[in-house]
C-alpha cells in the first residue's frame, strides 16, 4: 500500500506541475464553471419561482443537491475524465501494453495517472452552494459531516461506472457517444429524485443509480431517509468497485497486444 501512495504522489506531482505551465487555463475554466453554475441555478429557479416545490424539498434543500452534483462534477473533471477517457487512446495506440507490463495494478495506473486541477472550480462552487443552502437551513458542522460518507460512496459509484464504460473500449474502440449518454443520464442528479415521475425515480435508483450520487447524501445531511439508504449506498459502492475490477480483468482476456 505504501508503494501505491508513493506512486500516486509521483503521478499527481508531475501532472500538476505540467498543468500549471498553463495557468491561464484555470481562470478560463473557472469562468466556464461559473457560467455553468449560473445556468444550473437558473434552471432550478424556474421550478421554484412560482412557489412550487419538489415533494419534501425546499429551495435551500434543492440547492444542497445541486451543490453536491457540482462537487461530483468537479471530481469527475479532476480525476475521472482525464484518466478514463485515455483508456480508449491506450487501446488504439497499443500503449496499453506498457501499462500491463508495469509492476503495479493496471487499473490503479489507468485510474490515477493524471490529475487535472481545472475541475477544482466546480468543487469550490459546489461547496459554496452547499454552505449557503445549509446555512439557510440552520445546519451545523455535524450535519455537513454526515454527508461525507455517502458522498464518498457516490464518488466511488461514479468512478466504477466510468471505469467499466472505459473498459468496453477493448471491444468497442469508439465509445465516446456512449460516454456522452452516461454523462447525460447523470445530469439527472442536478435535481432531487423526487422531482421525477415514479417510473423515472425507479430508473435513476435501480438502473442508473443517480439517486445515490446526490439525493442520498443530501438526505443524510438533512437527517432524512434513515440509515437504510446509507447502508444501501455503501453496499452499492462496494459491489460496483468489485464488479469494475472483475470486469476489467475479464476485458483484458480479449485484449490483443499491439506486438502480437
In a domain, 80, yes or no: yes
Average pLDDT of the residues in 154-175 = 86
- pLDDT band with cut points at 50, 70 and 90 for residue 94: confident
Specify if 259 maps to a domain: no
75 lies in some domain = yes
**pLDDT higher at 163 or 19:** 163
Q: Which three cell numbers stand for residue 45?
A: 429557479
- 138 domain-assigned: yes
Q: Per the domain annotation, does 258 fall within a domain?
A: no
pLDDT in tens, 1-23: 778 888 888 888 888 887 777 77
According to the per-residue pLDDT averaged within each range, which of 40-54, 81-95, 205-219 is highest?
A: 205-219
* Total number of domains in the chain: 1
In a domain, residue 129? The reply is yes
> What domain range is 87 assigned to?
1-253
- Report yes or no on 134 lying in a domain: yes
Provide mean pLDDT across the span 101-125: 89
Most confident of 38-47, 148-157, 186-195: 148-157
The verdict on residue 35 lying in a domain is: yes
Amino acid at each position: 500500500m505504501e508503494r501505491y501512495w508513493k506512486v500516486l504522489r509521483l503521478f499527481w506531482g508531475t501532472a500538476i506541475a505540467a498543468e500549471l505551465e498553463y495557468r491561464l487555463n484555470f481562470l478560463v475554466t473557472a469562468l466556464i464553471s461559473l457560467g455553468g453554475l449560473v445556468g444550473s441555478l437558473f434552471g432550478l429557479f424556474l421550478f421554484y419561482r412560482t412557489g412550487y416545490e419538489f415533494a419534501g424539498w425546499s429551495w435551500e434543500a434543492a440547492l444542497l443537491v445541486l451543490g453536491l452534483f457540482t462537487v461530483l462534477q468537479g471530481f469527475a473533471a479532476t480525476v475521472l475524465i482525464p484518466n478514463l477517457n485515455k483508456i480508449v487512446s491506450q487501446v488504439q495506440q497499443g500503449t496499453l501494453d506498457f501499462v500491463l507490463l508495469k509492476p503495479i495494478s493496471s487499473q490503479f495506473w489507468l485510474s490515477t495517472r493524471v490529475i487535472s486541477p481545472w475541475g477544482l472550480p466546480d468543487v469550490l462552487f459546489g461547496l459554496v452552494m452547499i454552505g449557503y443552502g445549509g446555512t439557510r437551513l440552520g445546519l451545523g458542522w455535524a450535519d455537513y459531516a454526515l454527508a461525507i460518507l455517502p458522498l464518498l460512496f457516490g464518488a466511488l459509484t461514479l468512478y466504477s461506472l466510468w471505469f467499466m464504460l472505459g473498459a468496453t473500449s477493448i471491444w468497442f474502440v469508439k465509445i465516446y457517444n456512449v460516454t456522452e449518454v452516461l454523462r447525460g443520464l447523470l445530469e439527472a442528479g442536478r435535481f432531487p429524485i423526487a422531482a421525477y415521475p415514479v417510473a423515472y425515480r425507479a430508473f435513476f435508483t435501480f438502473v442508473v443509480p443517480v439517486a445515490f450520487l446526490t439525493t442520498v447524501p443530501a438526505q443524510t445531511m438533512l437527517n432524512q431517509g434513515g440509515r437504510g439508504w446509507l447502508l444501501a449506498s455503501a453496499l452499492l459502492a462496494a459491489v460496483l468497485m468489485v464488479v469494475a475490477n472483475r470486469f476489467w480483468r475479464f476485458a483484458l482476456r480479449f485484449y490483443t497486444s499491439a506486438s502480437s
